[in-house]
Amino acid sequence: MRAHALPTVVRVNVKPEADHEHGLPKVAVDRAEFTVEGVAGDFNRYRHEEKQDDPAMAVLLVPIETIEQLNREGWPVAPGDLGENVTTAGIPPEALAAGRRLRVGPVTLEISKPCTPCDNLYLLPYVGADRGPAFLRTMLDRRGWYARVVVGGPVCPGDPISLVPD
């Protein structure tokens, strides 16, 4: 595992709305505006159609350390594949819990709940229907965290991440 000196944003990811497509994989962008409604330029069909754009699911965070661990386990996951808007580095998993606030660049996020794996992950080319159940089991407790946007603003790769003191 590579060492990450300070918690930081590795990648910012979005997926524009496209007919009959789901919100993954997401592609890297140089900058995205985060608002209480979500991430500008990003569309998550499940969040929109099933969860009525729930603000508690405005942003999905996944640690690069999780992606690196999945790679070591033989899953060729890349940043953005899991549907995350922010690929983080250097945040200990035990620091993320519901109600915890993070400052991501100028943005303040509040962790709302863990993201449970769903069968949309079957859409990834290295998963598919045959390996889907095994991948969902692998992803239990590792899909990342949803967060609401408390204070909006732009987020870019390289932005620092810090825990907001209680």
The 3-state secondary structure of the chain reads: CCCCCCCEEEEEEECCCCCCCCCCCCEEECCEEEECCEECCCCCHHHHHHCCCCHHHCEEEEEHHHHHHHHHCCCCCCCCCCCCCEEEECCCHHHCCCCCEEEECCEEEEEEEECCCCHHHHHCCCCHHHHHHHHHHHHCCCCCEEEEEEECEEECCCCEEEECCC
Q: What is the mean pLDDT of residues 52-71?
A: 93
Residue 2 has pLDDT above 60, yes or no: no
Does domain 8-163 bear CATH number 3.60.21.10? Answer: no
Is the pTM higher than 0.85? The answer reads: yes
Residue 3 has pLDDT above 60, yes or no: no
Domain map of the chain by residue range?
A: 8-163
How does pLDDT run across 74-133, given as a tens digit for each residue?
999 999 999 999 999 999 878 889 999 999 999 999 999 999 998 889 999 999 999 999
